Structure 1
Amino acid sequence: MEAPADQTSSKHIVLVHGACVGGWAWFKVATRLRDAGHRVSTPDLAASGVDPRPLREVPTFFDYTKPLLDLLESLPPGEKVVLVGHSLGGVNIALACELFPEKVAAAVFLSAFMPDHRSSPAYVLEKGGTLDWMDTEFKPQDPEGKLPTAMQFGPLVTRAKFLQLCSPEDLMLGRSLMRVGSMFVEDLRLQPPYTEARYGSVRRVFIVLKDDNAIVEGFQRWMVQNYPVDEVKEIDGADHMALFSTPAEVAHCLADIAVKYAA
């Protein structure tokens, strides 16, 4: 099932990746949305994808998010985008909504961490930290602990928790292009809650991935209960990297949301 190709309803959709990958991870979804006539941006966050900086030069979550914030700041007056975050990308789009609510027609959380406006942004990351990390490596970047803890996914956790329904080719691609990243929990713990007046004013949609072994369905639904959204959609047969395993279904969901929420 492909995204509906209605050229007259073209929207600007910004796709924000999760930890340790980059904008490249959206290639299947972005292709389908562009073929349907939408404008699509897939920014690389700092120290991600082809961004040249090493993680040690990205000390805060704001620094990590800045490429997305710069994109929104550069939009012409009056233009609004549909902002989509996957996994950790949910916290990036929440920060973007806090700073630029007038530029976001809808915020879409694709099995993504979704902060509320009562707790620090780290709350949902720590609440959802029950994943069996298997062979993931966590390492301090500096003796003083001033930099965020580095994180690198191993082959076992990648196969079992993130891409268990993906093809061998997609698994190989994902493993080949992953970089060292961070959840930035130490920094996010220090940040005040995003506000109801700004972040909370943006319409939100949550897409539940029912076969996600990383951010499991029960926790996805807990986040929706914790911070109710305007609409919940579901995709069956989608693992955490639904961008690879069910790209047509993801594109169809996003196209429907864009047409419904973006003027």
Structure 2
Amino acid sequence: MLKCFRPPVFLENIATKKIVLVHGEGFGAWCWYKTISLLEESGLHPVALDLTGSGIDNTDTNSITTLVDYARPLINYLQSLPDDEKVEYSDRMCCGGAVVSYALENYPKKISKAVYLTATMASNGQKPFDAFSEQLASADLFLQQSQFLLYGNGRDKPPTGINLDKQQIKMLYFNQSPSKDIALATVSMRPIPLAPIMEKLSVSAENYGTVRQYYVQTLDDNMLSADVQEKLVQENPPDGVFKIKGSDHCPFFSKPQSLNKILLEIAQMPWQKIY
């Protein structure tokens, strides 16, 4: 006799089953394919979006001039939700973290919780790029010297994007990921829009600060070192911190089961802030 799949009881009774997955710079909704499958098996409803100029969105990366431009698909999705519906967010990396921070500030009543997955949690007035400044250089020096910059508007204009080569991508993002996922990423990743990384964030305790936030650290990360991640947590204390051992910058590839376990645990937690 065939048995019907039945999600665990603890996931049947949670208030928010919809989890929106926001990719980081250069990636797209495709990067969440393992996480989507695992969450669906647990009875949740994951939604993965392509941000502007990412995945199958055909916008030219060089035309993205603001964080709002980049976040537009997420903004449109939030605005389409019924007034009484909340969603949970999981995001990753520099641009993804900035996009979700923007959403928390501008749509706090639409979001029950936010999970920063080895992503930047910038304070008010900070740029997402600031988190990388210790590992790379100052923003000004990086813009002057980087060989990976794109000049979509001409060399006499400010750079518009970043395009890493395959060896850089493997070294920075995928030092623990399976070879098949590395192959998928190297043929699917798009140039990184520069403007969202360099834009100062505006967040407040009255909006951004009212949503529960969690941080997931990846401890074998070449892109955002464990020390930098720890500093981000210390400077912007979240409601909870989780750590994934043996994971590179992309735990949805290198440690999908560990990531799924954390997301399920967070899904069970109450969404109301305790003051």
TM above 0.5? yes
The match for 2:246 is 237
1:103 aligned to which of 110, 117, 122: 110
- 1:36 aligned onto 2:47: no
User: Within 5 Å, which residues of 2 pair with 1:43-62?
Assistant: 43-62=49-68
SS of alignment partner, residue 212 of structure 1: coil
Q: Are the equivalent residues in 2 in contact too, given 1:61–1:187 (CA < 8 A)?
A: no
Instruction: Work out which of the residue numbers 256, 259, 263 in structure 1 matches 2:268.
Output: 259
Quote the Cα distance in structure 1 between the aligned partners of 2:83 and 2:252.
31
Which residue does the alignment assign to 2:13? 9
Question: Where does the alignment leave 5 or more consecutive residues of structure 2 unmatched?
Answer: 1-6, 137-141
5 Å-filtered alignment, 1:139-154, equals 139-143=150-154, 145=157, 149-154=160-165
Partner residue, 1:115: 122
Among 145, 159, 163, which residue is 2:174 paired with? 163
In structure 2, what is the Cα distance between the partners aligned to 1:162 and 1:186?
Answer: 17
The letter of the residue matching 1:94 is S
Equivalent in the alignment of 1:249 = 258
User: What's 2:213 paired with?
Assistant: 204
Partner of 2:130: 126
Cα deviation per residue 1:66-104 (whole Å; 9 max; x = unaligned)? 101111111111111111110021111000001100011
Cross-structure match for 1:75:
81
**Contact in 1 for aligned 2:53/2:59 (Cα 8 Å):** yes
CA offsets per residue over residues 122-143 of structure 1, 9 Å max, x none?
1x4224234469x971122214
2:33 aligned to which of 27, 32, 35: 27
Deviation (angstroms), 1:186: 6.9
**Take 1:5 and 1:215, find their aligned partners in 2: how far apart are those partners?**
35
Residue type of the partner of 1:44? D
Distance 1:107 1:136, change over 3 A: farther
Asked whether the equivalents of residues 91 and 113 of structure 1 are also in contact (C-alpha less than 8 Å), the reply is yes
Shift of 1:62: 0.5
Residue deviations 1:209-256, cap 9 Å, x none?
111110111111101111111100111111001110111111111111
User: Is contact 2:129–2:197 with CA below 8 Å preserved after alignment?
Assistant: no
Greater displacement, 124-133 / 151-160: 124-133
- When Rg is computed on C-alpha atoms for both structures, the one with the higher figure is 2
Q: Secondary structure at the match of 2:193?
A: coil
* Partner Cα separation in structure 2 for residue 163 and residue 206 of structure 1: 20
Runs of 4+ in 1 over 3 A off after TM superposition: 4-7, 130-133, 143-146
Query: 2-side partners of 1:162 and 1:5: how far apart?
Result: 33
Identity of aligned residues (%): 28
Distance in 1 between the 2:164 and 2:107 partners?
32
Moved more, 101-110 or 174-183: 174-183
Partner of 2:139: none
